[in-house]
Every structure is written in C-alpha cells, then in structure tokens.
Structure 1
Amino acid sequence: MNSKVPRTVIKRYNLFDVTIPFANADDEFDIECEDFPRPTARMSCGHVVTPMSLTKHCLYLLGKGEYKLVCGQFNCNVEWPYEEVRKMALLTPEEKEYFEKIMAHNAVKNYFDSKFCPGCKFSVTRKDESNLSVRCQVCTTNKGCTYEFCWQCLRKWKGPQPRLDRCDNDGCTNDSLKTL
C-alpha cells in the first residue's frame, strides 16, 4: 500500500473550546517523554492525552495493522469512537484521510482472508483455500486474459495448479511446510 504517513504539525488544544474536556493532569500517553504542549484533555475512558500523544498512539496502532483505536493503557481496552479521536487528536485533513484509508485497509485484511493483487493493488479474497493460485477479476478484465497470482509469494502465478504447497516462482516457500 502506497500510503505515506502525513507529517504531523505541532498541535495544542484551544483553551476557549468548550467542547474539550480539559484535565489538570499529566499526559499519560507521552511515554517517550517528548513533553508535548499542554493543555491536556480527558478521553472517554478517563485517560489523559494531548493531541500530539493521541495522534502518535493511533498512528502506532494503525502501523501494527489495527483498525480499532483503543486506549491501551494498563487494564484499559476501551475502544474510542473515531469521531472522538478525530476531535481530540485535532486531526488535520491529511491525517483524517490517512487514518480513514489505513483503518479501512486494516479492517479488510482483518475481516476477510484477502490480500492485495500485485498487478492492480485491488483487494482480492481467496475462494478456494486448497489452491494458492488466485484469479484477479480486475486484472483479468483490464488485460483481456486470465491473470492469476500466488497467494503465498504475491507474484504472478507460475506452474501447474491447483497447488497448496507453492508456485514455481523462485523463493516461494510455505514456512509451515518447511518446519515439517
């Protein structure tokens, strides 16, 4: 996926914004002691953040492949609504676009056994789990001929099929079969 993390500008809450639940407490998400600018505010779970620490925490979650934005403080797995994160992190338009794109991407990967076609980068769901050869309908339509790729190595399919162990591309191996 070619999504570039947007550059984060220094953000701080406006003390005159009556919609922000301000807190007279230290930022609980500044774990690297970056001293993000105050004031701090309280999330719905009760933990205290700054826009900078909240943005950084959420980018970390998205980078790990998460699609739900959760607190993650000790004994707190509260899932924050995206609307709350958008508001409390003071997300820029670029950050909103990035968050939404990556959250959708991560959700698709999590909910479906899907991968991105190496030919067109569209999401493809494997229909037959006993065959590593997967047909991409988008590429097949665009190229005017059948386009299949290997579910394992994500390269254009080589060799006979159906196969569950590997395709004929160099370096295509099934790690779970290697250990046997």
Structure 2
Amino acid sequence: MKNMMFQQLSSSRIHTLTENPLSVSECKKKFAAKLGTQHYYIEVVNLEDGIIYENEREIQGLSTPLQIMVGNPDRKIPSYLVTTEPDMIMQDEDDEEPRLKMSCGHAITPYNLFGYMKSTLMCDVKSAVCCPTTDCNAEWDMREIAKKADMTEDERIFFERKISFNLVNQDNNSTSECPSCGHFCQRQQDVLRIRCIICTKKNGGAFDFCWNCKAPWFTDHKCSNKELEAFQRILNDAPLKKIDMSEIEGVPSKRMCPNCRYLIEHLQACKTMQCTKCKTVFCFSCLKVAVNGRLPCGNYNQKCTVARVQNVFEAQ
C-alpha cells in the first residue's frame, strides 16, 4: 500500500505518512501531529472545486497529495482596531471578547467574522460577504476580511478561490451542488434525476439525487417527505464535537435554526450562532434563542446543556 501524501495550500512541500487513515477525521489527527498543531484547526479541501470535506468522508477516491488548509488557533486584533461597541452578531455590550470595527462601522470579533464569512461562502454559496446588520448590508472586501479575521495564508488562498468559484456558478441554472459531497453537478436538459460522478466513483455504484429537493433519487421519487427524510439523515449522521470556548462536549455539529429551520454547521469557537438566513441568534448547544441580544444559557464561554438531535418532522 502506498504512503499517504498531503500538502498545505500555501506550501510546495509534500508531506508523507507511513500509515493510511481511512477517513478525513483520522487524516486530520495524523496531519496535526505531523505539523505540530491541533486537528480541529485543519481542513481537508479541494481547492479547484471549493470543497471542504466532511470528517466522515472516506479518503478512498480523493486525489493525492491531499490538500489541507491549516487555520489560526489564536486570531488576534491589532490594538488600533479594537472597539468597545457590541458585536453585530451577539449584540451583547457586556461581552468581554475583543472586537474590531469593519469598514462599514459595525463591530465584530475576529472569530465571528471568520465563521460568518465561512458560512456565507460554504453554506449559502454567495459570491460576496456583506454586513449582517439590519439595514446595512455593506459588502466587505476579501482583503479586509483576511486581515481583520487574522486568516492564515492557507485560509486566504482557499476562500479567495471559493468566492471566485461562487461568482462563476451563482447564475448557472444548469449546475447544482451534490447534497452528499458538495461537488457541482451538471444538469442534462430538464431532467430531475442528477448523477454525481464523484460520489458514484467513490461508492462504486450510481449516486443520483433530485434536482428540486436534493433528496437521494429512488424509483417513483416524489418531492414530498423524501426531502425531510434526507434532511433528517443529515442531522442524525452529523458527528458530535466539542465547542472549545465553552468546553461543551457531545454537541451535534449540524443543527436547524430554531426559527426558520435553515441547516447550519458549527465551524469553530463559541456556542453563539446567528442564522445567516433569518438572523436569529441562538445557542448551538442547548438551542435556546437569544433575548435582547443575550443567550438565556449564559455568555459565549459558559457551559450549558446539550439539546438532542432535532426532529424535522416535529412541529415548531
């Protein structure tokens, strides 16, 4: 069996492992040990297609050397950028986490800035990152985001490529993201049954999904509860993680917004989450919604209970 090779986006050096992990999650732990960092700051990516691979994804079928993006474990703010104004996402004047001002005048922490940017580009597949403050919507330049979120060179390379990729594909009505791997798939004429060539190659058998509802394709498929069933499988299969800043363990890494039910993935840092669709602020662990900008379960760095995996078939 050949040794596994991997390469940081910002480096020409190719590293080699003498063992062959089976999943992305296992790879990240091995890569982290090799690079002297922690595994939750590493992502296995596909720069060309703008994909960050899920932890449970099998390595078999991925091109080598594997491309990795190493993140920043300690995002700092230059002293001249520090402000005491409340974070535009958390809206808590008593929050002690350092904040900075964006060019539009609104404040945010570097961790929230990075998380919001990543969610906008990866989950919403937008081609621009705009201020989430009501009635602002100012577009932020990627160079400003990279500087103020204290992004690594790996992160800068990947997300600058991703924003260009989204721009090219945003108005393309003949492509759609595969619900399993995130690869963009081409639609043939007006058929609803779409085949992902990446998942088909990986699984050794055809993987088809519905163009409309993104549910896996079955004979006599109808866009009804199949969509909800696929959504529920995503929630059920989401890996459990530790929210580091609150030291809360066993939290599902994917949740529905408790207000609009939009699917959200926790990326890093604290438990406070703002839905990029409806702007509701809530706790990713206990799922309680913020009241007047404050979480009922305590500050961003305080422990709270872990709510069970959500059920999409339950009424709100």
TM exceeding 0.5: yes
* 2:117 is the alignment partner of 1:58: yes
How does 1:90-105 map onto structure 2 within 5 Å?
90-100=150-160, 102-104=162-164
Task: Specify the code of the residue in structure 1 equivalent to 2:222.
Answer: T
Code of the residue aligned with 1:174 in structure 2: it is C
Within 5 A, what are the aligned runs for 1:41-80?
41-67=100-126, 68-80=128-140
- Tell me the SS of whatever aligns to 2:189: coil
Number of matched pairs: 149
C-alpha contact (below 8 Å) 1:28/1:48 kept by paired residues: yes
Please tell me whether Structure 1 or Structure 2 has the larger radius of gyration of its CA atoms: 1
Question: Which residue does the alignment assign to 1:83?
Answer: 143
Higher strand share: 2
Shift of 1:2: 4.1
TM-superposition CA deviations, 1:54-102 (whole Å, max 9, x none): 2232233235414211111121010111111111111123432443454
User: Could you say which residue in structure 1 is the equivalent of 2:74?
Assistant: 10
CA distance in 2, matches of 1:79, 1:134: 34
Going from structure 1 to structure 2, the CA distance change for 1:171 and 1:27 (only over 3 Å counts) comes to: farther
Whether the 8 Å contact between 1:112 and 1:125 is mirrored in structure 2 is no
Contact 1:133/1:148 (8 A) holds in 2: no
Structure 2: give runs of 5+ residues left out of the alignment.
1-50, 55-68, 225-316
Q: Which runs of 5+ in 1 are unaligned?
A: 16-20, 156-166, 176-180
Q: Which amino acid aligns with 1:124?
A: C
Q: Given the superposition, is the C-alpha separation of residues 99 and 117 from structure 1 closer, same or farther in structure 2, using an over 3 Å criterion?
A: same
Q: Distance in 2 between matches of 1:23 and 1:12?
A: 10
Over the matched positions of the two proteins, sequence identity in percent amounts to 21
Conserved? CA contact 2:77–2:110, under 8 Å: yes
CA RMSD of aligned residues (A): 4.0
User: Cα gap change, 1:30/1:65 in structure 2, threshold over 3 Å: closer, same or farther?
Assistant: closer
| Structure 2 counterpart of 1:57, one-letter code | Y
AA partner of residue 125 (structure 1): Q
State how far apart, in whole Å, the 2-side matches of 1:92 and 1:50 are.
Answer: 16
1:115 corresponds in structure 2 to: 176
CA distance in 2, matches of 1:133, 1:59: 30
Q: Which structure has more helix as a fraction of its residues?
A: 1
> Which position in structure 2 is the counterpart of 1:163?
none
1:71–1:79 CA contact under 8 A, matched in 2: yes
